[in-house]
Structure 1
Amino acid sequence: MLKPIEWDDEKKELILIDQRKLPHKLEYFICRSYKDVAYAIKEMVVRGAPAIGISAGYGLALAEIYGDNIYKAYETLKNTRPTAVNLFWALDRCLKAYKEGKNILDEAKKIHKEDIETNKKIGKIGEKIIDDGDNILTHCNAGALATSMYGTALSVIRFAHYNGKNIFVIVDETRPRLQGAKLTAFELKYENIPFRVITDNTAGFLMSLGKVDKIVVGTDRILKDGTVYNKIGTYSLAILAKYHNIPFYVAAPLSTFDLKSKEDDIVIEERDEKEVAYIDGVRIVPEGVRCYNYAFDKTPPNLITGIITEKGIIKPNEKEIMSLFD
């Protein structure tokens, strides 16, 4: 099983799979300070909402270990990326532990361990929506590489495969950084799960041909009204799924739910235009051309069939969401 995040107790360092180098090289990025962790999150050495949160927790632990200003480290890590709520959830939890006189590293390790168990539960619960023979479409990467192990959306797919279901996965390449083509494809090949990669704009045509039975994606934030924020392109998929009457599921741990914010509060991350203008260092648009590079979009609850959590599968409405936290 892929382990994208590991803590070395002896050396007091965080070891991350460098996802920028995948799928061609499996290399590791070593974090020996909170600034290293901040860089890793901002530059997408590590990405995926749960993985960002876990890494940030270890980053704050590194600040404590090496005598840095905890509050400065907290602010630096908090400002690395604006949309994924797990980042703030994990940092706030570790800061609370610090204020209570507890060891930040112990809290970060606890978050890490809990995430592994949570992802496993999501897979075991979610695989029940998958029928033998299903063609499942997924977007971006919501696998082990986006978490601590198993993943969220890919945990559902993994456990369907582990239970002997004959499934086939359709992987959106996911422009502009190609997390589907590079990372999801890497994981599925690693697990010997049958799949094919498509360009993002092929999805609708495959739906019209009856070649998509279910769609399962991850998410970086869910509001209490069921609005989902995920990798750019998710909204388009949800609309297409609604038109073609295809079930559209979102897989997420409880730590991804944001019960305080409203839509107007959410900052949609805009990243460097170069990510759109270049693919693997090769410029694909003319010199001087400007690009939009929104990293996320929002999908309203009326387009979502269900949300798969570690506590069960719920409808995307406030009543059911709030029941998870009773």
Structure 2
Amino acid sequence: MTNTTKNVYDLETVMLEDATSEMVIIDQTLLPSETVFLRLKTQKEIWEAIYKLRVRGAPAIGVAAAYGIYLGAKAIKALEYKEFYTDFISLKKYLASSRPTAVNLFWALDRMDECVKRYKEKTVEDIKFELLKEAHKIKEEDTWVCRSIGEYGLTLLKPDMGILTHCNAGQLATSKYGTALAPIYVGQEKGYNLKVFADETRPLLQGARLTAYELNKAGVDVTLICDNMASAVMKNGWVQGVFVGCDRVAANGDTANKIGTSGVAILAKNYNIPFYVCAPTSTIDLNCASGKDICIEERNPKEVTEMWYEKRMAPKDVKVFNPAFDVTDEKFITGIITEYGIAKAPYNESLKEIFKRKRGMV
């Protein structure tokens, strides 16, 4: 199914069509040349879509996981809770194996698991209905979270500023607005006229294919640059702030994001440019002490050697190192922007304060 919408805000990354038991996603591997919606029915199709980055971005992965496990649970034939829950846990383990680094995947699956246990005294059919409501709630909350991050992020910006971003943490990575791009979209609504430099983000080119695509559709002033051009635009004085998303934040403030992010942070530090990580609290893992404890996924070498080329561009037998993420040390991060405020160093303390606000304790 194709779509020719011209308004980026009309693009829903993840949708549920409960009547047909399908999850509908934009196939982000085909953007920007084609806007194709995939209709996923089986757990294998949903697993493959997450693994192959057809749906990607930490919040969007969380929403996809919630809808995906709901559809799996909906198909379980068991009538008794114990048998149902055994099958549910099997589904949870299977979907959790699709992406080892994105904490939102596990967060959403755990939240759906807690929903099942919370209503274990109900009938299986009632539990399935509660799972549907919980999945919808996860998506609705994500839109609020992103808008809130955008509002907090905008307090750090002034009109006409130059912003650099890496990978894609925008509308396509979330339910709406994005995380790193949320301050830009909120600023667009308020006439800030921000100028964005989007790193292409090798090797999967999320910046070139996705960030440039959606910002351009939204009418934002965006300039695409190769990853190794970031230093040049910073040195030229064209960048006054760096905003990136993340897949996991450790308790000490170390942050895992798309490969190349740590290099951008080091450059920003050198040029005295503030570097901000936009992180929903669902991506903050206080049980993870530091970046050393974050599992980094290594992906298929073909993404580097031949995926985007008409002919293979590297020697046939050359070794390839292709980590999906790197870890930015907390010392390079100016602030972590959440839906409950902006955390500053020392992060071991400020992130705990953010969660106190979330629980309504302050």
Give the TM-score normalised by structure 1.
0.97
Secondary structure of 2:224 counterpart: strand
Deviates more, 1:309-318 or 1:280-289: 280-289
For 1:280 and 1:256, how far apart are their aligned partners in 2? Answer: 30
For 1:265 and 1:228, how far apart are their aligned partners in 2? Answer: 11
Secondary structure of 1:325 counterpart: helix
Secondary structure of 2:25 counterpart: strand
2:65 corresponds in structure 1 to 56
* Structure 1 residue 145 displacement after superposition: 0.8
1:66 corresponds in structure 2 to 75
Secondary structure of 1:269 counterpart: coil
Query: Which of 113, 126, 142 is matched with 2:169 structurally?
Result: 142
1:187 corresponds in structure 2 to 214
Secondary structure of 1:222 counterpart: strand
State whether structure 2 residue 275 is matched by structure 1 residue 271. no
1:296 corresponds in structure 2 to 325
1:323 corresponds in structure 2 to 353
* Structure 1 residue 265 displacement after superposition: 3.0
Secondary structure of 2:230 counterpart: helix
Secondary structure of 1:24 counterpart: coil
Which sections of structure 1, spanning at least 5 residues, go unmatched? Answer: none
Provide Cα deviations, 1:162-194, integer angstroms capped at 9, x if missing partner: 110121100000000000000001101110101
Provide Cα deviations, 1:91-113, integer angstroms capped at 9, x if missing partner: 00001111222422221111111
Give the TM-score normalised by structure 2.
0.88
For the 8 Å contact 1:29–1:45, the answer to whether it is kept is no
Runs of 4+ in 1 over 6 A off after TM superposition: none
Counterpart of 2:198, as a letter, is V
1:200 corresponds in structure 2 to 227
State whether structure 2 residue 314 is matched by structure 1 residue 285. yes
2:109 corresponds in structure 1 to 91
After superposition, the CA RMSD in angstroms is 1.2
For 1:313 and 1:5, how far apart are their aligned partners in 2? Answer: 28
1:313 corresponds in structure 2 to 342
Number of equivalent positions: 326
For the 8 Å contact 1:132–1:167, the answer to whether it is kept is yes
Counterpart of 1:293, as a letter, is N
Counterpart of 2:180, as a letter, is A
1:13 corresponds in structure 2 to 22
Query: Which of 165, 184, 187 is matched with 1:160 structurally?
Result: 187
> Which of structures 1 and 2 has the bigger CA Rg?
2
Query: Which of 77, 98, 118 is matched with 1:100 structurally?
Result: 118
* Structure 1 residue 281 displacement after superposition: 4.8
How many percent identity over aligned positions?
44
Secondary structure of 2:327 counterpart: strand
Provide Cα deviations, 1:294-323, integer angstroms capped at 9, x if missing partner: 100001111111111111112141111001
For the 8 Å contact 2:256–2:294, the answer to whether it is kept is no
For the 8 Å contact 2:193–2:220, the answer to whether it is kept is no
